[in-house]
Amino acid sequence: MSWIYYLLEANLYLSIFYVFYRLVLHKETFYAANRFYLLIASVLAFTLPFLQIGFLLKPALQYQQIAYNQVEEFPILTLENGLLLIYGIGAACLLLRLLVSFKHIIAMLAKADVKLENGLKVIELSNTKTAFSFFNLLFIDPSLPQKNIVVKHEMVHINQKHSIDVLLLEFVQIISWFNPLIYLLKKDIKLLHEYLADEATTKNEIAKYEYAMFLIQNTYDSQNLSLTNQIFNSSILKQRITMLNQKKSAKWARLRLLVAMPLVGAMLCTSTMAFTKDYGILDLYPKSNLGNFSPKQTTPKKAKAKEIVIEEPTRQVPPPPPIEKPRNKKLYGKKNGQNPPPPPKAPATKSLDIKIAPPPPPVEPKAPKAAKGEVLEIRLAPPPPIEPKPAKKG
């Protein structure tokens, strides 16, 4: 059930990140920092389960992981298979919904008139009273009042690549569809996109009061497209107007983001010590006495057999006796009244009596026996030549 354990662990971290955002960062006006925090948290929550700190692992836990990795045969109808089936059905439904949204955008793109303005594709949707953007595509009704404000608002979405954020959160939602906090996270990231676009629109040309009145007069219930950022969205209008009049947060308030760093460290320690898993593939700080342990290793490797050579003890030959130096007759003698020192005794050596056995006597070859009906031919060697005796003199 490693896949199920991984999903539960990743969504646990994602929930902790989001709760921290709602408690600490939600009401702050540094929208860009909050945006990047939610994006990094979404990616980090699914990355932390693969990390571990080997220094914190106990040797007993190491062997438990090795035993846990052993492959076992399970029957087909199990609780794990049932949970995976339910999870797959939910993920497939959300994936189908995403494909339908893509198809709807492509259908509008095929029916409408496409114009190219300053490298931007503008798709005019007549009599729709709508405006939204998707990557570098701007869908807009040409009959909208104050069209320049709408275009400026949507250009912020296009320039800051907000569609990438939306698409990333769509995939996270497909993976974690069973987590109710993922839907709130997706809503908040879109809300931050609108805060950024509203802030950039009201920075120079138009006053905040006039912009708020423009949104109130033109907002209505439009069609819900999950892949787009829509300026005229009635569900978030009140929050957008509230944040327009919100007092700017102090610069030191950004330091609250640093609180997330020990939070990440606590999650990493929890991932190492609180979960017995086989998907921790990256060890950030391995322990020296654990050796080359890898979580993917299913069975311990067999040690290679070493050849042991036993050498026979060599016989120690005693050292030769020291050579006696000639005595100095001047120093030692009867005249001086001194006796010469006795000669040094040679170390006692044990003589090794090694008796060599005499070789065995030669064996005369036996004459071969003749079989019945056979005649053996025996050839005698010629006699040696006789040397002539020398003749006697006289």
> What mean pLDDT is predicted for residues 19-29?
93
Task: Please check whether residue 216 is in contact with residue 208, taking contact to mean a CB–CB distance below 8 angstroms.
Answer: no
Q: How high is the pLDDT of residue 65?
A: 47
Tokens linked to 381: 């060697």
Mean predicted confidence (pLDDT) in 60-86? 61
Residue listed under structure tokens 């939910």: 90
Closest listed residue to residue 91, CA positions, set 170, 147, 16: 170
Predicted pLDDT at 194: 93
pLDDT given for residue 186 in this prediction: 94
Phi and psi at residue 283, in whole multiples of 5°? -100, 115
Which phi and psi (to 5°) does residue 198 adopt? -65, -40
pLDDT of residue 69: 47
Does the pLDDT value for residue 55 go beyond 70? no
Whether the per-residue pLDDT at 70 is higher than 70: the answer is: no
Q: What would the pLDDT profile of 225-269 be if each residue is shown by its tens digit? A: 778 888 888 888 889 999 988 888 888 888 888 888 899 888 888
pTM: 0.67
Per the CB < 8 A criterion, the answer to whether 90 and 178 are in contact is yes
Mean pLDDT of 300-326: 55
Q: Answer for the pair 90, 180: CB distance below 8 angstroms, yes or no.
A: no
Are the C-beta atoms of residues 17 and 257 closer than 8 Å to each other?
A: no
To the nearest whole number, what is the mean pLDDT of the chain?
Answer: 77
Confidence of residue 368 (pLDDT cuts 50, 70, 90): low
**pLDDT-based confidence at 67, cuts 50/70/90?**
very low
CB atoms within 10 A of CB 92: 11
